[in-house]
Amino acid sequence: MSVDSPPRFVLASPESEFYWRSGADGRLRIQRCGECSRWVHPPGPACPFCHSRRVGPEPVAGTGTVATYTINHKEWIPGFTPPYVFAFVELDEDPTVRIGTNIVDCEIDEVEIGMRVEVLFEPSGEWHVPLFRPAEAERGGGT
Amino acid sequence: MGERMERRAVISGAAQSDIGRRLHRTGIDLTVEAALRAVEDAGLTTADIDGVSTYPGFGGSFGGAMGAELHEALRLSLNWRSAGVETAGPLGAVHNAILAVATGLARHVLVFRTVVEGSGGPLRPGSGGGGGGGMAGSAGPFQFMIPYGAASAACWVACYARRHMHDYGTTRTQLGAIAVNGRANAAANPKAIYTDPMTIDDYLAVRMVSDPLCLYDCDVPCDGSTAVVVSHRDHAPDAPAGAVGVNAMGTAIRGRPSWDQFDDLTSMMMRHTAASMWERTELTVDDVDTAQLYDGFSWLTLAWIEAMGFCGKGESGAFVEGGVNIGPDGSVPLNTSGGQLSAGRLHGFGHLHEAVMQLRGTANIQVSGCEVVAVGAGGGPETGCLLLTKGPS
């Protein structure tokens, strides 16, 4: 399946702007605490665990696992042509970092809970929207 | 167990406006209709009303009408008024009214919830449809779902439903039992939107919306207002239709307040909310004669059934399958007026109204000897509940 550049309606906050810009260099970044090293998502003004204000974006591998998903058969927003997959992906660095996304570059019926996925980015205006596709090993690609 | 302040309050009156798909009436018009009926039902006049409480406290198709609009429309003289969306779900308006009465700030609080979603426009980012409460277009937590076309609570709830199916073997046939049960009960409700018979085969054949949720897993938007009067228990003997006691209320929001970041993808905040209700009562789940549990989406009802403890974690699918346990003659008659899937999306207040009717013995499908009703409303991080009794608790 592919999501053919639907309207992305990104409304970033000062805390989240880095997340939506991160893909400019091809890397996904997640907020991390400079004191206790915990990953924080969605990003906020302080670490919710130790309350340190020393939080900032840090690159992650961009790989994870599909925790769950839905196949939308309704065009919830004009331009999102059904069917399309909305999924929650749990990142390898910390499975409590759960990211909403579309799963692309595969058939819809290939998507399943537990599927290994990797990030890619779709440029949308000033933003780089993180999407996920089956990990290279699952796609059977690579050498 | 120490004193439970909520037991100082009773529900002395309850009523609804006309309910329909496209009534083309304003939210405040419907609200006034329900409010005046509820006040009369409580054996009161508007001069007795000294408090107003509502959810969410704004207009539009989701909000319906503001508390101040009712205040002005009936020229009430109030000692206390409250409205807000950051409550334990829509029943938070009832919780607040109970607290106002229990603390003596008010004696008779008019509580309402109005929706005009049946006449509303199409869903757009920022329109606030379905669980977003108007936040969908903000830079808040929904910013991580809207860019992916997940603009409706249907998309988010579907993700939980699928994980529940994956982890516990829950099937669509089991999920469908909620919708089929609601439709069968709606047939006896003259205000219900959909009353044509529905079989499980009809359910399985209808189109998907957000797989695994099909059209019949999603409630039906409508126009309508529900109003109740929360009074001090001293008024109970003078409530002509019979006062309903408040035994316990559930308000806890102990997990992350998020549709997408809750720690368990097979349950939602009602897990904590229901637990907090049981912590406040000597009654147990075995005392419940009927349950009115939110069905904005059918899977939410499964989550409420587990949260309330009618079955174990992950067992709700088997519990509801075939509809016997949840039917009018079952161990836990469920959503006896049809719920939101068939009777209309009154945002939990249809369930509350039905609970009052059951405890008065005047429901369309009456559970015999009904003395205790559990009411739970909301989904995601916005959930609240009440344990109500026949007469003051």
Interval B350-359: pLDDT, tens: 999 999 999 9
Contact B152, B129 (CB under 8 A): yes
Contact B385, B91 (CB under 8 A): yes
pLDDT at position B2 is 76
Task: Report the residue from B140, B158, B207 with minimal CB separation from A70.
Answer: B158
Average pLDDT, chain A: 93
Q: Is the pLDDT of residue B131 over 70?
A: no
The two structure tokens encoding residue A65: 């696992």
- Among the candidates B172, B205, B238, a domain finishes at B238
Helices (H), A13-116: 17-21
Decide if A3 is inside a domain: no
B209 and B189 belong to one structural domain: yes
Tell me if B213 and A10 make a contact (CB, 8 A cut-off). no
Tens-digit pLDDT profile for residues B161-204: 999 999 999 999 999 999 999 999 999 999 999 999 999 999 99
Q: Which candidate in A86, A89, A112, A127 is best for mutational testing of the B interface (most B CBs within 10 A)?
A: A86
B282 and B383 belong to one structural domain: yes
Assess B210–A contact: CB distance below 8 Å, yes or no: yes
Q: Is the pLDDT of residue A90 over 50?
A: yes
Of B342, B295, B301, the closest CA to residue B185 belongs to B342
End-to-end CA distance of chain A: 24
Predicted confidence band of residue B135 (pLDDT cuts 50, 70, 90) = very low
Number of residues written out for chain A: 143
pLDDT at position B161 is 98
Of B189, B182, B210, B187, the closest CA to residue B340 belongs to B182
Assess A100–B contact: CB distance below 8 Å, yes or no: yes
Decide if A69 is inside a domain: yes
**Which residues in B lie closer than 8 A to residue A83 (C-beta atoms)?**
211
The two structure tokens encoding residue B138: 């903000």
B180 and B60 belong to one structural domain: no
Decide if B136 is inside a domain: no
**Which residues in B lie closer than 8 A to residue A119 (C-beta atoms)?**
none
Handedness of CA B193, B197, B203, B206 (dihedral sign): negative
Q: Using CA atoms, how far apart are residues A119 and A92, in angstroms rounded to an integer? A: 12
Assess B257–A contact: CB distance below 8 Å, yes or no: no
Decide if A140 is inside a domain: no
B82 and B190 belong to one structural domain: no
- Which residues, numbered 116 to 145 in chain B, qualify as contacts with chain A under a Cβ-Cβ cut-off of 8 Å? 123-125, 137-141, 143-145
ipTM comes to: 0.95
B292 and B359 belong to one structural domain: yes
B42 and B158 belong to one structural domain: no
Q: Is the pLDDT of residue A1 over 80?
A: no
Q: Using CA atoms, how far apart are residues B113 and B285, in angstroms rounded to an integer? A: 27
- Among the candidates B212, B238, B264, a domain finishes at B238
B207 and B233 belong to one structural domain: no
Decide if B134 is inside a domain: no
Of B287, B378, B390, B389, the closest CA to residue B56 belongs to B378
Domain coverage including residue A54 = 17-134
pLDDT at position B121 is 54
The structure tokens 């559990």 sit at B374
B183 and B103 belong to one structural domain: no
Mean pLDDT of A6-35: 95
Predicted confidence band of residue B123 (pLDDT cuts 50, 70, 90) = very low
Decide if A7 is inside a domain: no
**Which residues in B lie closer than 8 A to residue A73 (C-beta atoms)?**
207-211
Q: Is the pLDDT of residue B136 over 50?
A: no
Instruction: Give the DSSP letter of residue A42.
Output: S
Between B385 and A9, residue with greater pLDDT: B385
- Please list, in sequence order, all residues whose beta carbon lies within 8 angstroms of the beta carbon of residue B95, skipping any fewer than 6 positions away: B87, B88, B249, B251, B384, B386
**Which residues in B lie closer than 8 A to residue A99 (C-beta atoms)?**
144
B291 and B192 belong to one structural domain: yes
Task: Report the residue from B138, B163, B207 with minimal CB separation from A11.
Answer: B138
pLDDT at position B3 is 87
pLDDT at position B124 is 45
Q: Using CA atoms, how far apart are residues B295 and B283, in angstroms rounded to an integer? A: 24
Task: Report the residue from B155, B166, B211 with minimal CB separation from A113.
Answer: B166
pLDDT at position B108 is 98
- Among the candidates B207, B238, B269, a domain finishes at B238
pLDDT at position B130 is 45
> Count of domains in chain B?
2
Residue of A nearest to B157 (CA): A70
Mean pLDDT of B213-221: 97
Tell me if A98 and B123 make a contact (CB, 8 A cut-off). no
Tell me if B139 and A69 make a contact (CB, 8 A cut-off). no
B180 and B232 belong to one structural domain: no
To the nearest whole Å, the CA of B293 is away from the closest chain A CA by: 24
**Which residues in B lie closer than 8 A to residue A71 (C-beta atoms)?**
208, 210-211
The two structure tokens encoding residue A84: 């399309």
Q: Are strands B223-232 and B108-116 parallel, antiparallel or unpaired?
A: antiparallel
High-pLDDT (> 90) share of chain B, %: 93
3-state secondary structure chain B: CCCCHHHHEEEEEEEECCCECCCCCCHHHHHHHHHHHHHHHCCCCHHHCCEEEECCCCCHHHHCCCHHHHHHHCCCCCCEEEECCCCCCCCHHHHHHHHHHHCCCCCEEEEEEEEECCCCCCCCCCCCCCCCCCCCCCCCHHHHCHHHCCCCHHHHHHHHHHHHHHHHCCCHHHHHHHHHHHHHHHCCCCCCCCCCCCCHHHHHHCCEEEECEEHHHECCCCEEEEEEEEEEHHHHHHCCCCCEEEEEEECCCCCCCCCCCCCCCCCCCHHHHHHHHHCCCCCCHHHCCEEEECCCEHHHHHHHHHHHCCCCCCCHHHHHHHHCCCCCCCCCCECCCCHHHHHCCCCCHHHHHHHHHHHHCCCCCCCCCCCEEEEEEEECCEEEEEEEEEECC
Q: Is the pLDDT of residue B138 over 60?
A: no
The structure tokens 């109030």 sit at B78
pLDDT at position A4 is 60
High-pLDDT (> 70) share of chain B, %: 95
The two structure tokens encoding residue B173: 């046939």
- CATH number, domain at A103? 2.40.50.840
**Which residues in B lie closer than 8 A to residue A98 (C-beta atoms)?**
260-261
pLDDT at position B346 is 98
To the nearest whole Å, the CA of A143 is away from the closest chain B CA by: 32
Q: Is the pLDDT of residue B85 over 90?
A: yes
pLDDT at position B306 is 98
Mean pLDDT of B305-309: 98
Mean pLDDT of A104-116: 97
pLDDT at position A138 is 72
Domain coverage including residue B233 = 5-121+223-238
Mean pLDDT of A62-88: 97
pLDDT at position A5 is 84
Between B160 and A14, residue with greater pLDDT: B160
The residues facing B378 across adjacent strands are B383
- CATH number, domain at B379? 3.40.47.10
Tens-digit pLDDT profile for residues B186-198: 999 999 999 999 9
**Which residues in A lie closer than 8 A to residue B267 (C-beta atoms)?**
none
Task: Report the residue from A6, A67, A76 with minimal CB separation from B152.
Answer: A76
**Which residues in A lie closer than 8 A to residue B146 (C-beta atoms)?**
9, 11, 77
Contact A15, A44 (CB under 8 A): yes
Tens-digit pLDDT profile for residues B237-262: 999 999 999 999 999 999 999 999 99
> Count of domains in chain A?
1
Task: Report the residue from B125, B160, B213 with minimal CB separation from A77.
Answer: B125
pLDDT at position B127 is 43
- Please list, in sequence order, all residues whose beta carbon lies within 8 angstroms of the beta carbon of residue B199, skipping any fewer than 6 positions away: B180
Contact B70, B362 (CB under 8 A): no
Q: Using CA atoms, how far apart are residues B326 and B361, in angstroms rounded to an integer? A: 19
B178 and B297 belong to one structural domain: yes
B264 and B351 belong to one structural domain: yes
Mean pLDDT of A15-42: 97
Q: Using CA atoms, how far apart are residues A51 and B88, in angstroms rounded to an integer? A: 26
Tens-digit pLDDT profile for residues B47-69: 999 999 999 999 999 999 999 99
Predicted confidence band of residue B120 (pLDDT cuts 50, 70, 90) = low
Decide if A10 is inside a domain: no
Chains A and B form CB pairs within 8 A to the count of 106
Contact B153, B378 (CB under 8 A): no
pLDDT at position A141 is 55
Whether a cis peptide bond, with omega within 30° of 0, leads into A95 is no
Contact B117, B24 (CB under 8 A): no
Predicted confidence band of residue A2 (pLDDT cuts 50, 70, 90) = very low
